[in-house]
Amino acid sequence: MIPRTAKAAVGRRILDAFTAAGAAEVAPDVLLPSATLLDLYGEDIRARAYLTTDPVRGEVVLRPDFTVPVVQMHMAGGADPARYCYLGEVFRKQDHGDTRPAQPRDNEYLQAGFELFSRDRRADAEVFALFHGILAPYRLSATIGDMDLILDAVAGLPLSDARRAILAHHIWRPTRFARLLDRFSAPVAPRHFAVNDAPWTGLRGVPEMDARIERLESHRAEPTLPAIWHKRLQRLFAVAGPAPEALDELRVLADHMPAIAEATERLAARLRDLGALGVDPGTIHFDASHGRQTMEYYDGFTFSFTAPGRADWPPVASGGRYDALTAVLGQGAAIPAVGGIIRPGLLAELDRC
């Protein structure tokens, strides 16, 4: 067991590096109001975070991550651009299903984080290069992804707006996404909505049902998605390899999927920015599906650093771009934002080896 003090010392070292990079240190509450988090994450948050009740404040959550409170704080009146950093505990339930693993993951652990609110397109590279520099002594594997590619690819499918919106909504749920894609790639079988004599019950209204039935019927008139699009999407999801080679592959794919051309060139610019900051893109692994396995609020660039030979470990560091989250939490206002966290406890563990 590594003493908590040793982990905190690693955390402070990271925090120093973040402040040296121009970040202002912030210290969000540990007890957060539950409403925002519940609305954002849904039931996942109940499975993963500790909820408790306060007689005055109602349901509160033990901080499961810092991003949401930092974004809220910034949206309530931060400068533009702004850099924030923090160090503190987060709390996560670890419910593993039927069998408990021999080495359960931590229920509470330190996170050292950095969040950058900026309209500068080089912000992605700035955050990644900062993390890359701090983590360099640990010889971790770096993987990046880009949800923009997938979101743009879906937005560019020859489908109705309704169908594209449904697909985009389920990008983070791979099985459901694949099922929907299959359904849209085949003719819609006529469906009989049997009338029954059950009285109307519940809050969902008759007009809501009628609207959905009408939508389902209208789908029948829609042309099916040609099989080639299914193949192209699969090819896109499967793009993985050293970043420069993945970029070449994406450029070839973009000839057939013009919708991803812009995002591909943004990735190219990001790799150039990284090179300019002293990070060799050839040492970074690109995985087009990377962002589909991370938090749903990442909607652009994503990254993670993992420890080789520690397959059972979560990433030592991770982060990404979450522009849409600032819009959700900003009540109309929005600002591009990118950030990430490092787990000092795991670095302390690596320090010992």
Partner 1 sequence: MLKLGVPSKGRLMEQTFDWFAARGVRLSRNGSDREYAGAVEGAEGVSLVMLSAGEIPRELAAGRIQLGVTGTDLVREKLAGWRSDVVELAPMGFGHADLVLAVPACWRDCEDLDDLASIARDFRLSHGFRLRIATKYHRLVRAFLSAHEVADYQLVDSQGATEGTVLNHSAEAIADITSSGETLRANHLKVLSDGLIHASQATLLAGRAAAETPDLRAFADRLGIPRDLHAV
SS3 track for the chain: CCCHHHHHHHHHHHHHHHHHCCCEECCCCCEEEHHHHHHHHCHHHHHHCCEEEECCCEEEEECCCCHHHHHHHHHCCCCCCEEEEEEEEEECCCCCCCCCCCCCCCCEEEEEEEEEECCCCCHHHHHHHHHHHHHHHHCCEEEEEEHHHHHHHHHCCCCCHHHHHHHHHCCCCHHHHHHHHHHHCCCCCCCCCCCCCCCCCCCCCHHHHHHHHHHHHHHHHCCCCCHHHHHHHHHHHHCEEEHHHHHHHHHHHHHHCHHHHHHHHHHHHHHHHHHHCCCCHHHCEEECCHHHHCCCCCCCEEEEEECCCCCCCCCCEEEEECHHHHHHHCCCCCCCEEEEEECHHHHHHHHHC
Is 105 a binding residue for partner 1 by CB under 8 A? The answer is no
Interacting residues with partner 1 between 212 and 231 (CB under 8 A): 212-213, 216
Is 96 a binding residue for partner 1 by CB under 8 A? The answer is yes
The only residue of 4, 13, 57, 179 in contact with partner 1, by rule CB under 8 A: 179
At its nearest, how many Å lie between partner 1 and the CB of residue 29?
23
Is 169 a binding residue for partner 1 by CB under 8 A? The answer is yes
Is 55 a binding residue for partner 1 by CB under 8 A? The answer is no
The one segment of 19-27, 146-154, 173-181, 345-353 that binds partner 1 by CB under 8 A? 173-181
Is 161 a binding residue for partner 1 by CB under 8 A? The answer is no
The only residue of 20, 24, 31, 47 in contact with partner 1, by rule CB under 8 A: 47
At its nearest, how many Å lie between partner 1 and the CB of residue 184?
13
At its nearest, how many Å lie between partner 1 and the CB of residue 174?
8
Is 44 a binding residue for partner 1 by CB under 8 A? The answer is yes
176 vs 310, which CB is nearer to partner 1? 176
Which stretches of the chain bind partner 1, using CB under 8 A?
38-39, 42-44, 46-47, 95-100, 166, 169-170, 173-176, 179, 193-196, 198-204, 208-209, 211-213, 216
